[in-house]
Amino acid sequence: MASVDRKRLPRRSLLVAGLLFSTASALWGQLPPGAAPPVELDPPPTVAEEPFTFARDGLTLNGTLAMSPSSSGRVPVVVIVAGSGPTDRNANGPFLNTNAYAMLAWGLAERGIASLRYDKRGIGMSAGEGGDPTTLTTDLYVADVASAATALASDARFSKVILLGHSEGAGHVLQAANRGAPQAGVIMVAGQGRMLADVLHEQFARQADSTTVAKIDSAFARFLRGDDPGEVPPFAQPVLVPQYRNFLRSMAAYDPASEARRFGGPLLIVQGATDVQVTMEDAELLHAAQPASTLVRLEGVNHVLKSIASTDLQAQTETYRDPSLPLADSVVPAIAGWIEDLDR
């Protein structure tokens, strides 16, 4: 299949297909030619940050620990796990510049809750730790989450470890918990509730007619089998990158409802009502699979946790590229309040 020229992809494609479940990670953390690096923000004076690294199988993953400088005694700590593609510890990358994870970390610190956000293997300051992309699977990311949790669980500053994943990362933290990662609870933010093929079908249906979408569905099935997918529209090509076939296969095998059903600990499901990548249906399916979970609907909040009332794709895209746009006011209270309630 021909290589994908992402500079020519329409912005609608980058939003719907490039940021959630496509292997935008084919860029392997590199900016497109001529693109400006993301704008990073400094933490507020109410937050203290320090580097934090952890190792797994000879790899060193780099992150940032955020805490309140006035914290006394042991405090809870949240592992913030990024979504798909070349998304770094702050929720920035070639396709987006939101600083959403940094803002979330700072908001939690101001509530007395520490957090670790880290660059995934192959991304940001962990760029040298990616390995062979043809062997990449979600199992590697899941094991990395467990290693981060283990490192924090052994740190005397922390009373408990909470796993929080955003978008694709929501699935990673749920699977890590089910595989024995130390945790006192799991938070899934904008996480898929359906199988990958179903989510992709819905995303592409927002951009094309039913005949074209059926063609893409068939191409994706052939791609997973190892066959030539054939010709597809440019906006669908980012999900058919041959070197990431094994990764897509592992994603396609992930059953969110089954994993949620297996998890017996405290579970918070957070979903923005104006998210155009993951819908309330996904959150409701997760909640139905695990009725003991807590489901929070955030009105006027989109996939990158920013305030926007419209679901128009052009308007949504602007929120993905504004590095100083604050988090929606409801995000931190929903997450911090649930964590605080764990001790009540």
Best CA proximity match to 1, nearest among 217, 222, 215, 252: 222
Predicted pLDDT of residue 33 = 56
Predicted pLDDT of residue 16 = 39
Predicted pLDDT of residue 81 = 98
Residue 218 forms part of a structural domain: no
Predicted pLDDT of residue 28 = 38
Give Cβ neighbours of residue 70 (< 8 Å, ≥ 6 apart): none
Predicted pLDDT of residue 132 = 75
Residue 26 forms part of a structural domain: yes
Kindly report the CATH number assigned to the domain that includes residue 168: 3.40.50.1820
Residue 267 forms part of a structural domain: yes
Predicted pLDDT of residue 42 = 97
Instruction: Judge contact between 275 and 188, C-beta under 8 A.
Output: no
Residue 290 forms part of a structural domain: yes
Domain count, the chain: 1
Residue 220 forms part of a structural domain: no
Residue 105 forms part of a structural domain: yes
**Domain of residue 168, residue span:** 6-30+40-200+239-341
Residue 208 forms part of a structural domain: no
Residue 50 forms part of a structural domain: yes
> What is the pTM assigned to this prediction?
0.90
Predicted pLDDT of residue 135 = 85
Q: What is the DSSP letter of 183?
A: -
The residues of the chain scoring below 50 in pLDDT are 1-29
3-class SS at 35? coil
Tell me: the pLDDT tens digits for 94-138? 889 999 999 999 999 999 999 999 999 988 898 775 567 788 899
Give Cβ neighbours of residue 100 (< 8 Å, ≥ 6 apart): 90, 91, 166, 304, 305, 306, 327
